[in-house]
Chain A
Amino acid sequence: VQLLESGGGLVQPGGSLRLSCVASGFTFSNDAINWVRQAPGKGLEWVSVIGGSGASTFYADSVKGRFTISRDNWKNTALLHMKSLRAEDTAVYYCARAPTTVTPPIVYWGQGTLVIVSS
Chain B
Amino acid sequence: SYELIQPPSVSVALGQTARITCEGNNIGKKDVHWYQQKPGQAPELVMYRNTNRPSGMPERFSASNSGNTATLTISRAQAGDEADYYCQVWDSNTGVFGGGTDLTVL
Interface residues of A (CB under 8 A from B): 34, 36, 43-46, 49, 56, 58-61, 94, 102-112
Contact = CB atoms under 8 A, between A and B. Distances in A.
Given A34-B95, A43-B99, A43-B100, A103 B89 contact: yes
The main secondary structure of chain A at its interface with chain B is: loop
B14 interface: no
Interface of B: 1, 30-31, 33, 35, 37, 42-45, 48-49, 54, 84, 86, 88-90, 93-100
B48 A105 contact: yes
Nearest to B49: A105
The main secondary structure of chain B at its interface with chain A is: strand
Contacts of A59: 94
A103 B99 contact: no
A44 B30 contact: no
Given A34-B95, A103-B30, A107-B54, A44 B42 contact: no
Given A103-B30, A103-B89, A46 B44 contact: no
Contacts of B54: 107
Nearest to B42: A109
A94 B96 contact: no
Nearest to B95: A46
Going nearest first, the 5 A-B pairs with the smallest beta carbon separation are A46-B95, A105-B48, A109-B42, A43-B100, A105-B33
A43 B44 CA distance: 14
Given A44-B35, A106-B35, A106-B45, A58 B97 contact: no
Contacts of B86: 43-44
